[in-house]
Amino acid sequence: MENRIIEVIESLDDMRFLTPADENAVSAAEEALGLRFAEEYREYVKKYGVISSVEVELTGVTEAKRLDVVAVTERERELTEDFPKDMYVVENIGIDGILVLQNSKGEIFYIAPGRRAEKVANSLAEYIEMVKEER
């Protein structure tokens, strides 16, 4: 499957980003979480660091703790009893405790309090396109 994450991100409305992450910062974030990010997530954070748009507000590798994938994932691991250890938070929807998670294969899942992770997309690019269609 071709990686289309940059093309999809660039199609977002009113997209804003912070400082791109370098390879050392990405590797340090992976080490802190004890996992490897999906290739498309690595590509995204190396290009943008973290993004926010009308459609989505994704975590990333950044010093902004509210959107930092390590800080957000570690906090959710503490708060959510059955948080999958092989996944990381890519977005906090902000409604009913719903989180969007990704695994190292790139698959996207929703998880909510008292519910198991449910797969909703095969990639972050597919998830973003799904959200764009819904809005």
Q: How confident is the chain (135 residues) per 10-residue block, as mean pLDDT? A: 85 95 98 98 97 96 96 94 93 92 98 91 97 87
Name the token pair of 94.
């902000």
Name the token pair of 84.
């999958």
pLDDT value of residue 1: 43
Tokens 């998880």 -> residue: 111
What's the maximum distance between 2 C-alpha atoms anywhere in the chain? 36
**Burial (CB count within 10 angstroms: exposed 0-12, middle 13-18, buried 19+), residue 16:** exposed
Name the token pair of 65.
């703790």
Nearest to 35 by CA among 97, 90, 113: 90
pTM: 0.94
pLDDT value of residue 2: 56
31 DSSP assignment = H
- The residue type of 79 is L
